[in-house]
Chain A
Amino acid sequence: MNNFAKVILFSLIVILAFVLFANVYIPHIQPSPPPAEETIDVGAMTMDKFIALGDKVFNGKGTCTLCHNAVVKRAPLLEDIAAKAMDRIKDPRYKGKATNAAEYIEESEREPSAYVVAGYGVTGTNDTVSPMPVTTSGAIGLSDVEVKAVVAYLQNLAGAEVTVEIPRGVPAEKKEAQAQPAPAKNVEEAVNKYGCGACHKIAKIAGAVGEIGPNLSRIGSKKTEAYLRRAVINPNADIAEGFLPGMMPQDFKDKLTAGELELIVGHLLKSR
């Protein structure tokens, strides 16, 4: 083998070694997909749902647990923040305007430097400047509803009375954003729109090869039209053998248009 071939072979082996290392030794972690730009309907939201929203924001979009966690301790833990709030408000170092726990927590999200817990300030600022980002702007960008939902979650977490009120009245632009998408024109569009194929195998629909739910490719020969309609709008009414209740989304009755429901049921009936 001449030198040119040897050098090329050696270089390719080095590259191959690196790529194998990155693909075999390194765990296959799929980074989270970009967060969806959701709109929140607080019109009919109960306090339990509002607290659940706060939980979701606190542990997700808000990225709060990156620092407020017991392992790395980059920031103080917040389990008892609602209980400690009044003490902090009375602290001479407090620079904010809150008068109660709910206001204090909300203020911390909007103006993190209003009060900095000792030992957690930016180096060299003598705990007067917080390293925490303002949660309502930048990469986090929480809405007013989400800020208050986090307050409700943290009050509930501390076992305190949840005093924050659910903000009613959605801004006009959000209402516009909540406008329903156009109804599906055919069954393939309807199946893809609601992601049925991710869990079910459905005949003659490209990509509908899911295996999490029952195989529906011949369901028309086994079930009646009424059964199929009920299975879509009330999935827990009848559970197929070998599957658990609660696996299928329960809100299709609110999302599907009547026409889309008929398209899907009609297609399933013909699947024999």
Chain B
Amino acid sequence: MTMPSVYGFLKKKAVLACILTAVFCAAAAAGVSITLPAGSTASGVAYAAEQSGGHSPAAVEAKGTDGATQPSFQPPPKLKASDYPQIRGINGRVLVWVAAQLHLWFAAFVLAVPIFVFVIEALGMITKDKRYDKMAYEFIKVSLSAYSVTAILGGLLLLSLVVFYPDFIKYLASIFNSTMLAYAFIFFLESASLYIYYYGWHAMDRGFLKWVHLTIGLILNAVGTTLMFMANAWVSFTMSPHGVDAAGVFEGNVWHAMHNHLWNPINLHRFVANIAYGGSIVGAYAAYKFLTSKTDEERAHYDWMGYTANFLAVVALLPLPFAGYWLVAEIYAYSQQMGITLMGGSFAWLFITQAVIIGALFLSANYYLWCGMERSHGAHRYTGYIKYIAAVILLCFLVWFTPHTLILTPAELKALGGQYHPFLGPLGIMPAKNTAVNIMLIFTFLSFLLYRRANLVAVVSWARQGSAVQAAIMTAAILNIIVLGTYYGYYTNTVYKVASSVPQVASTLLVLVSCMVIDVFMFKGAREVGPLKWGKMPERSQYALFLLAVSFTWLMGLMGFIRSGIRQHWHVYTVMRDNSPDAFTPTIGYAAKVVSVAAVIFMAMVIFIFWLSSLSSKKQEGH
């Protein structure tokens, strides 16, 4: 791209950023516009209330006795069905749902990619291997095209909320208006740092400038993560509102509202999940490029890219269940009722669907690793173990997949002798599932260790003892997990059932960290059996990467539904009731259909973006 065209491109992006900022400012102004200046008269206050339909939650400035201006808030409005605008032929809830989901998928991708681009660029600087730099540049190029789409979808989400849920967005804006303005400003910063980072890649590719470039990458990540945390604050406030009194009147400050009970658990869960998701999408991109490569060199490059992306996805996938578990534990801690709705009500069956998808994720990630061992000359030493690992992962998957309460006809109920299966019933409760998922994680990690050492021969004198210690740690951890899950899960009361999951997770983390540390030292300076045969992968292995990306996409959609759905008929849980005609909770089947349609739209948009990105590459090659 020539300098004038870069300038033109940046100008277009700046215009887009301006438009989006204006939309955000307008939303923030929904709360601000009826904020009266200090010293307003009573008739002015009445006017503000009148303008907002007499039931606005909006902030109204009031003078305290000491003369200082204190913001005071009205209770959230009690809405009627007629307060929700209807447009013939459009279901407002579905539109908001799909717009939010599409925005989140793209946002997850564009926030995750700069994280590992930064890491890969740093690796390239440390190792002085130019391949890292090339791959990092290709990653960021893919995410750049998705960035504009993310912003446009964010605008669509906001617009659909303003149109279909005006009182709800007005209430949120009355509390968060200052953060919405800050969000718009930070969005500018993110845009600026992203474009400088991308377009300055080659201009700043050596010496001190390379360090400056890396620093810009760090700023980009810091700004992007801050944006996500701010949006998370709005979302988590609707689930666990903080700073409101018993009547629902907001009486805190904006920090109270942001720092609500579920903010940090959601921040962590989304941060980790985004990395896994970003890895899976880039992996799918690399897989497609691999399948359509015309030369061995190209195939080797995209094989390596796919491997790296899958590695990043799996590394982030391993701690994800723990982050999810913390989030659910905090949901229970905030509201036992909400927790039971999540895990014990009609949503409980959704977790069986989740188990199937996560099972697919783990199996496809492992399958890709096993196929990847074909790149190594020394892999035959370990291929015999694969069938046992596969059997254990499958067994764990089946345990996770076992429902607790069966839906039976009266005849089946009579034949079974009760609601629960006599042998499989105990596998339906959380202690069995926690045990299964921890063992599944350890065996996935084992797959990775075998892949890692497939082409290496350790040269340290203590290699045999090192492997024995690793095996001992894994065995002890697995036994500990099983004993904890069995004893505390079935022979003590509920409090211990939940509490025992913590040492189970600790056992798994101990395996991950200690075995990895031992492995790194054990294979330091190890002899290679032969050169790695990058590109020598069967085509079917690439479909594992597609399965990973599609499963992640669908799973995120489904989990988005449940996160939002557990508020049930509340816009803001326990504070602002949803009285729209669509306040009911849809069935899982219905949600699955909406998520599927959204996923297909997302895939079509991603394919379009990748196609655009390839056009840009061809143009560059032409130059």
* Cβ A67 vs Cβ B587 within 8 A: no
Please tell me if B550 contacts chain A, counting CB pairs below 8 Å: yes
Can you report 15 residue pairs joining A to B where beta carbons are below 8 Å apart? Answer: A10-B543, A11-B603, A14-B360, A15-B596, A18-B596, A22-B591, A26-B353, A26-B589, A34-B569, A67-B336, A119-B495, A133-B337, A139-B335, A139-B338, A139-B570
Q: Provide the residues of chain A in CB contact with B35, threshold 8 Å.
A: none
CA of A158 to CA of B349, assembled, Å:
35
Q: Is the CB of A123 within 8 A of B495?
A: yes
Q: What separation, in Å, do the CA atoms of A72 and B591 have in the docked complex?
A: 28
A169 contacts chain B at the CB level, 8 A cutoff: no
Interface residues of A in 22-53 (CB under 8 A from B): 22-23, 26-35
**Contact mask B325-361 → A, CB, 8 Å, 1/0?**
0000000000111101000111001101100110010
Q: Is the beta-carbon distance between A139 and B357 smaller than 8 angstroms? A: no
- CB-CB under 8 A for A12 and B600, given A18-B353, A26-B588, A123-B499: yes
Q: Of all chain B residues, which has the CB nearest A119?
A: B493
A72/B335 in contact, CB under 8 A: no
CB of A171 closer than 8 Å to a CB of B: no
**Interchain nearest-CB distance for B333 vs A (Å):** 9
Given the interface pairs A22-B353, A119-B493, A133-B335, the reply to whether A138 lies near B499 with Cβ below 8 Å is: no
CB neighbours of B338 from chain A (8 A): 139
A137, B589: Cβ atoms closer than 8 Å? no
Question: Nearest chain-B residue to A120 (Cβ)?
Answer: B495
B495 to chain A, nearest CB (A): 6
* Nearest-CB residue, chain B, relative to A26: B349
- A212 interface residue per 8 A CB criterion: no
Q: Whole-angstrom distance between the alpha carbons of A22 and B593 in the complex?
A: 9
Contacting pair A29 B346 (CB below 8 A)? yes
Contact B357 A18 (CB under 8 A): yes
Q: Which of B415-463 contact A (CB under 8 A)?
A: none
Q: Does B554 make an interface contact (CB < 8 A)?
A: yes
- Chain B residues 208 to 247 lying within 8 A of chain A, measured CB to CB, are 246
Closest Cβ–Cβ distance, residue B402 to chain A (whole Å): 13
Partner of A74, one of B494, B550, B554, B578: B494
> Interface code A1-26, partner B: CB below 8 Å = 1, 0 otherwise?
00110011011101110110111001
Beyond the given A14-B554, A26-B588, A139-B338, please list 20 additional residue pairs across the A-B interface where CB-CB is below 8 A. A3-B288, A7-B546, A8-B607, A10-B546, A10-B547, A14-B550, A15-B596, A23-B589, A23-B593, A26-B349, A29-B587, A29-B588, A31-B586, A33-B584, A34-B569, A67-B336, A138-B335, A139-B337, A139-B574, A140-B337
CA distance A140 to B573 in the complex (A): 11
A100: interface (CB < 8 Å):
no
| Binary interface encoding of chain A residues 119-153 relative to chain B, with 1 for a CB under 8 A from any of its CBs, else 0 | 10001000000011100011111000000000000
Residue B583 is within 8 A (CB to CB) of chain A in the complex: yes
- Within the complex, the shortest CB–CB distance from A24 to chain B, in Å, comes to 9
Does B90 touch A at the CB level, under 8 Å?
no
Residue of chain B at shortest CB distance from A66: B340
> Is A175 an interface residue, CB under 8 A from the partner?
no
Contact residue among B291, B335, B554, B587 (Cβ-Cβ distance under 8 Å from A15): B554
B592 contacts partner chain A, Cβ-Cβ < 8 Å = yes
Cβ of B96 within 8 Å of any chain A Cβ, yes or no, is no
A residues at B contact (CB < 8 Å): 3-4, 7-8, 10-12, 14-16, 18-19, 21-23, 26-35, 63, 66-67, 72-74, 119, 123, 131-133, 137-141
Contact B356 A21 (CB under 8 A): yes
Name the B residues within 8 Å of A30 (CB-CB). 346, 587
Contact at B550–A15, with CB atoms within 8 Å? yes
* A26 to B590 alpha-carbon distance, docked (Å): 12
Task: Please give, as numbers and ranges, the residues of chain A lying within 8 Å of B349 by CB-CB distance.
Answer: 26-27, 29
CA distance A131 to B600 in the complex (A): 43
Alpha-carbon gap, A137 to B244, bound state (A): 12
Contact between B584 and A28, CB atoms less than 8 A apart: no
- Closest Cβ of chain B to A31, distance in Å, is 4
Give min CB distance, B542 to chain A, whole Å: 9
Q: Judge whether B101 is part of the interface by a CB distance below 8 angstroms.
A: no
> In chain B between 596 and 614, which residues have their CB closer than 8 angstroms to a CB of chain A?
596, 599-600, 603, 607
A54 to chain B, nearest CB (A): 19
Name the residue on A nearest B600 (C-beta). A15
Pick the residue among A14, A16, A34, A74 that contacts B568 (CB under 8 A): A34
| A72 neighbours in B (Cβ, 8 Å) | 344, 494
Which residues of the partner chain A approach B554 to less than 8 Å between Cβ atoms? 14-15, 18
Contacts of B340 in A (CB 8 A): 66-67
B517 close to chain A: CB less than 8 A: no
B292 close to chain A: CB less than 8 A: yes
Question: Would B593 and A3 count as touching, CB distance under 8 A?
Answer: no
**What distance in Å separates the Cβ of A60 from its nearest Cβ neighbour in chain B?**
13
Chain A residue with minimal CB distance to B567?
A139
User: 8 nearest interchain CB pairs?
Assistant: A22-B592, A34-B569, A27-B407, A31-B585, A138-B574, A23-B589, A3-B291, A31-B346
Asked if B596 contacts A66 (CB within 8 A), the reply is no
> Separation in Å of the B134 CB from the closest CB of chain A?
23
- Given A14-B551, A31-B346, decide whether A23 and B494 contact each other with a Cβ distance below 8 A: no
Which residue in B357, B360, B583 is a CB contact (below 8 Å) of A34?
Answer: B583
Q: Which residues of B contact A3 (CB under 8 A)?
A: 288, 291-292
- Cross-chain contact B336 with A133 (CB below 8 angstroms): yes
Bound-state Cα–Cα, A21 to B583, Å: 25
A28-B585 CB under 8 A given contacts A11-B603, A137-B246: no
A2 to chain B, nearest CB (A): 9
**In whole Å, how far is A95's beta carbon from the nearest beta carbon of chain B?**
21
User: What separation, in Å, do the CA atoms of A10 and B287 have in the docked complex?
Assistant: 13
- Measured between C-beta atoms, what is the minimum distance from A265 to chain B in Å? 30
Contact B589 A11 (CB under 8 A): no
Q: Specify which chain A residues have a CB less than 8 angstroms from the CB of B593 in the assembled complex.
A: 19, 23
Kindly identify which residue among A7, A32, A131 contacts B291, using a CB–CB cutoff of 8 Å. Answer: A7
A229–B108 Cα distance when bound, in Å, is 64
Using CB atoms, name the residue of chain A closest to B429: A72
**A31 in contact with B494 (CB, 8 Å):** no
Cβ–Cβ contact B596 & A28, under 8 A: no
Report the Cα distance A15→B596, complex, angstroms.
6
Quick check: B547 and A14 within 8 Å, CB to CB? yes
B335 / chain A contacts, CB cutoff of 8 Å: 133, 138-139
How distant is the Cα of A27 from the Cα of B546 in the complex, in angstroms?
Answer: 29
Contacts of B494 in A (CB 8 A): 72-74
Minimum Cβ distance to chain A for residue B101 (Å): 14
Say how far A173's CB is from chain B's closest CB, in angstroms: 11
CB distance from B555 to the nearest CB of A (A): 9
